[in-house]
Chain A
Amino acid sequence: MQGFLQSVGYESWVLPALLIIPLIGATVLLLLGQTGGSTAGSDSANGQARAIAFGVLLVEFLVSAGLWWSFNPANPGWHAAIDSAWIPNWGIRFTLGIDGIALMMILLTTLIMPLTVLGSWTSIKTKVHTYFALMMILTSGMLGVFMARDLFLFYVMWEVMLVPMYFIIGIWGGERRLYASIKFFVYTMLPSLLMLVAILYLGVHGGSGGVPNFSYDNLVSHPTLAPRAALWLFGAFFAAFAVKVPMFPFHTWLPDAHVEAPTAGSVILAGIMLKMGTFGFLRFALPLFPGAAMNPTVRAGIITLAVIGIIYGALVAMVQPDFKKLVAYSSVSHLGFVMLGIFALTLQSVQGALMIMINHGISTGALFLLIGMIYERKHSRLIDSYGGIARVVPVFAALLTLVSLSSIGLPGTNGFIGEFLVLIGAFKPYPVFATIAATGVIFAAAYLLWAIQRILFNPLDKKDNEHIPDLNWREIGLMVPFIIVIIWLGVYPAPVLRRMEPSAQRLVTTVAEGVQRVSQPAEPVVATATASATR
């Protein structure tokens, strides 16, 4: 496989190709949607749009899959790197590249996207072409975030990603979609603007000869920031990322956005976009500002918020009457584990955080898809409108049970690996926080098992639930990849862990070195100390 990939020069074109393929798909879809004229909106035209979208994203996945083999963990630098000038006057370059972390995020994205198209097969009935075109643009934006090695390019991609999601929620969403979409947009836009200011400051500050420099590598390896400035800049990045994660107490956009978004929107939001925040911390906030991020007060504050998020998210999830909202709050809890893992900053905890990022994408994505499937049948997300339907829809019941078990971290499924690694890694530096966080496993079992009991089990006491049709082959088929990944990552996660380990290790050492550098501009101090001693 590696030989073949090398022979086609895979690494030299794969990243730009991954950005362009969905955009080509979007263009085709939009053209068809407009030139179709009278036939636009007809069943056959819609079917064509779906098929194109699925086909394009399938190609996207296949193209990206080569990265799994071409990626050599032993090579410490950027993989599949691209670097060309873009806006030279402002020192902005078009540089792409991935490490082990980005690799897994990209594969997660390209795996989930075609499956969300399958999941929206029959539920999207209006403006089908535009809908799928927006999903294509979204794909490019998200992949761009994971690939960008230039801070300005990163910011552009960050915003490209925001807009399609705003439309997806606002147009194809539920009853309160307007409120939810605007809340989502404003909530995430305002701190992003802060981050833009910080990026501009960094670029100008890091530049030379009047030309700014937005290169990530340059900014990480040549930090010249005063500690106070670093703290402010970290604050700006923190705001943007913490909202995206979302960390308690910046999470209230998420339940609304999830509930109102169409199924695919929820899947993408939870499965991929929430990882943008934690990815941002890993890629930018920590390596760029190690001193600020590891400032004992800042670090303890963030870990406290993370642990509050774990418990709070789980407890609030428990009392939700709406299944989608329940899963939304459970995301707050899961992402709390990720934040704990990142800021505990041991190799195990960071690896665990990365695993949860993947697992949460898989498990929560699958949960939202399943909720979407049952919603299409009954048009209700209220847990209490179901009950006892395991007898009516046994396949749905089996899948929902399995996915729920993976979400609550049953050993043997993917969910366990991440939580275990985060907690075991965080326990050494932060035993008390890790212990409190570990109680999250109890609450997780409580809210999800209680929910699936009220949906699947108990007496089948509502007449109109007796004839809900079970999943069809399309739906069963689209769940199969999720199930495979759930079991695979639970039983044999070693290949994934090995691919991410050098990147995680580098993060831990980079930040540790950075902290030392910041805390020891100490030479003059030492000099005065010895001077005074000799005096």
Chain B
Amino acid sequence: MMLLQIATGTHPLAGTIAELVWMLPLLPFLGFLVNGGISLMSAAHVGPADPDMSLGAHGDADSSAHAISEAEEHGAVGDDHHAIQPHRYAGIVSIVGPLVLAASFILAFLIFSQMRAVSMEAPFIQRYFSWMPVGSLQIDAAIQLDQLSMLMVLVITGVGTLIHIFSVGYMREDPGYPRYFAYLNLFVFFMLVLVLGANYPVLFVGWEGVGLCSYLLIGFWFSEKANADAGKKAFIVNRIGDFGFLIAMFMLFANIGVLDFAGVKAAAPGLAFGGAVVTAICLFMFLGCAGKSAQIPLYIWLPDAMAGPTPVSALIHAATMVTAGVYLVARSSFLFSIAPVASLVVAVIGGITALFAATIGLKQWDIKKVLAYSTVSQLGYMFVGVGVGAYSAGVFHLVTHAFFKALLFLGSGSVIYAMHAAYHHTGSHADAQDMRNMGGLKKYMPVTWGLMWAATLAIAGIPPFSGFFSKDSILGATFERAGHSTLADSSLLGISGSGWLYLVYVFGLAAAFLTAVYMTRMMLYTFHGPSRTGSAEESHLTEAPWVMTGPLVVLGILSVIGGWLNLPERIAIGRVGILDHWLDPVVGDATRRVATLTAGEAADAGSTEMILIFVAVAIAVAGIAFAFARLKPQGLVPAADSPEEEGFERVLAHKYYVDEVYDTAIVTPTYQISKHVLWRGIDAGLIDGLLVNGSSALMRSFGWMGSRLQSGAVGTYAWVLVAGVLAVLGAVTLR
């Protein structure tokens, strides 16, 4: 790779450690190369020279084709943990995998310290080489470091390191151990490209790259069809979103002529405020976000994505990748803030998704499915935040969610790990992820229990846990923008923006209530009440090893104190608005463009804000209390003995039958039409049958030519050909 570094001029970060920003993604990429190499080398059995087995002796094929090692034979049955011995290169992989992440995190932290030391308004842009130079379209391979990307890098590498360490314990006995870390490292590489790219196409490289890794990791245990299906579904649904993202880029180029953030930001004011162009750009871009961040109508892939190993769910499908859409909206705040209708759509879709997914979460039995719908719901909150123009509030929730949701997933991973080990001991095939098979785990896993309660209180929005502050800042901003903002002044489908935003606020409150209910339900059924695991298994249930519990503790601390990152003015129990201030150079202008509150009105809003906070907390407490009052873990029976749900509960348990509807309305018709109308009808029937073969003159010539070909004198023809061509060429040379 050629590094044609262009002088970055007089930027305060020039000449500092920030020049090494390219190493942030490169380190995980090196990890990918090492682990991927180990994976392929240790799996490969190079075949015989002549691969045609029908001609070779059969015994020969047997001896040379021990393609499946013993370990793979037993291990790759598509289940978490069928204990066998660790991979033979597990040692080096366990070091390389987490180490590259930790190194990347340390470097990120050093750069961060440097950034805090200088005051920078403009982003630090590094151009490495020209990627697609075509006339007026000039796309560079370039990195942009600013406050937003720095924050994302810290979250990705920080939480990423913890999850990598957790994986060392969780995946230790998997036969695909090096492959797992190769994919995970590759994921972090692409995720860092996504947040560091200085233009939309480079961001898109990361965007699709993380999708690829997600696909590979969801289908990690690919020998089970359901897992491979889930991976494919994730990729294709994401591609639908990516289509929107592509169109947005095309429109940007057609209307502005540039695709780098700095250029678009500079040119954006030239677009008509709220005009059709910028609205369309933002809506197409949001289609991409809806795919990546699992919003209605494209959320359907995320629950299925739980087929992947649990640390993957924590890293990719909770903490980082799925928040890329939120990042994209925040990154494009200079566009969304001049497209009020599009922003309104973002907020409304976010609000509906938050509520809709929360209702489904109420009736799931698979512990990871509960968390998956919870993630969809929380992502909805983030979109409400960035939709109403409270960009730093949306990003704030992104960060706290990364802490507590990663903790919840890893905690559930510990639970599944313990359940699995227990079932493995007794040879039972019961579902280790079904909460109906759990219960009473508090006794066996007290640390996990305590930490997961902390995360549950955080996500439910109980002060002073982190989720309270971030969720409250989103709800508060929504309420405020419903009164005064460019969004409130616009209208969508004949309803005023103000009306929509009040509705979104109510949805947000309702979702908060449901969040408290389903999370408490999950905790109650998993950790409290009597054990339903089975008497033989109970003695084998234990806390996970410290390599797994350690990262949980760190995440637990972050989940508790994360709120101090951005305290509201009304609750000044420390420095106020650190994150708002930090992100101000990136999203400040856009935020102020959306919020049209005057200073006097803002002062009046103070008392309202306290009421809002009180309402939100009351609702969260009510949700928890409701769950404690109504749900009786004592009444549950193990999954195998449970009856089917009835009525609306059944609709919820089947997720409103959305998958079935998509299948019947889109997937099956597309397949059947392609097969019977396009292929058999048009291709084979109309074009070939009628036009090509139907022509009798053609048929006759077919017969004539066939008889010539079959005379077998091909050698003669070849001679004639060579002679002919040589004569043609010779005619020139001999003249």
A interface residues, Cβ below 8 angstroms from B: 16, 19-20, 23, 26-27, 30, 33-34, 84-87, 94, 122-123, 127, 130, 133-134, 137, 140-141, 156, 160, 163-164, 167, 170-171, 178-179, 181-183, 185-187, 249, 252-253, 255, 312, 315-316, 318-320, 347-348, 351-352, 373, 376-377, 379, 388, 390-395, 398, 405, 410-412, 416-417, 420-421, 423-425, 427-428, 431, 434-435, 438-439, 441-442, 445-446, 449-450, 453, 456-460, 466-476, 491-494, 497-498, 501, 505
Contact = CB atoms under 8 A, between A and B. Distances in A.
Contacts of A417: 132
Given A459-B225, A470-B46, A392 B68 contact: yes
A469 B208 contact: no
B306 to A, nearest CB: 18
Contact of A421 (B54, B134, B721): B134
Nearest to B208: A411
Nearest to B671: A319
A467 B67 contact: yes
Contacts of B53: 377, 469
Nearest to A494: B130
B46 A316 contact: no
A456 B201 contact: no
Contacts of A453: 219, 222, 228-229, 231-232
A398 B679 CA distance: 30
Nearest to A181: B709
B118 interface: no
A427 B254 contact: yes
Contact of A470 (B45, B52, B137, B228): B45
Interface of B: 1-2, 40, 43-54, 61-62, 64-65, 67-68, 72, 76, 129-137, 141, 201, 204-205, 207-209, 212, 215, 219, 222-225, 228-229, 231-232, 235-236, 239-240, 242-243, 246-247, 249-251, 253-254, 670-671, 673-675, 678-679, 682-683, 687-688, 692, 698, 701-702, 705-706, 709-710, 714-715, 717-719, 721-722, 724-726, 728-729, 731-732, 735
Contacts of A390: 222
A497 B132 contact: yes
A317 to B, nearest CB: 9
Contact of B222 (A253, A456, A469): A456
A77 B246 CA distance: 36
6 contacts: A178-B710, A182-B702, A420-B201, A434-B250, A441-B246, A475-B51
A453 B219 CA distance: 10
Contact of A471 (B46, B718, B729): B46
Contacts of B687: 249, 252
Given A420-B132, A434-B250, A472-B48, A137 B67 contact: no
A186 B702 contact: yes
Contact of A472 (B51, B129, B240, B673): B51
A30 B714 contact: no
Given A320-B679, A347-B134, A473-B46, 19 more contacts: A30-B715, A160-B724, A163-B717, A178-B710, A181-B709, A348-B134, A395-B43, A398-B40, A427-B253, A431-B250, A453-B231, A458-B225, A458-B228, A471-B46, A474-B49, A491-B1, A492-B2, A494-B132, A498-B133
- Identify whether the interface residues of A are mostly helix, strand, loop, or mixed: helix
Given A30-B719, A459-B223, A427 B250 contact: yes
Of A163, A252, A466, most B-chain CB atoms within 10 Å: A252
Given A438-B243, A501-B134, A316 B718 contact: no
A394 B223 contact: no
A412 B692 contact: no
B732 A472 contact: no
Contacts of B675: 319
Contact of A26 (B130, B254, B722): B722
B135 A347 contact: yes
Contacts of A34: 715
Contact of B212 (A167, A182, A410): A410
Given A348-B134, A472-B51, A23 B725 contact: yes
B678 A312 contact: yes
Given A445-B239, A497-B134, A252 B683 contact: yes
Given A167-B717, A391-B223, A411-B204, A315 B670 contact: yes
Contacts of B61: 467, 469
Contacts of B45: 469-470
B345 to A, nearest CB: 19
Nearest to A134: B718
Nearest to B216: A401
Contacts of B225: 457-459
B694 to A, nearest CB: 12
B253 to A, nearest CB: 5
A133 to B, nearest CB: 5
Contacts of A141: 725
A494 B129 contact: yes
Contacts of B729: 16, 19-20, 23
A140 B725 contact: yes
A178 B706 CA distance: 7
Contacts of A167: 709, 714, 717-718
A316 B679 contact: yes
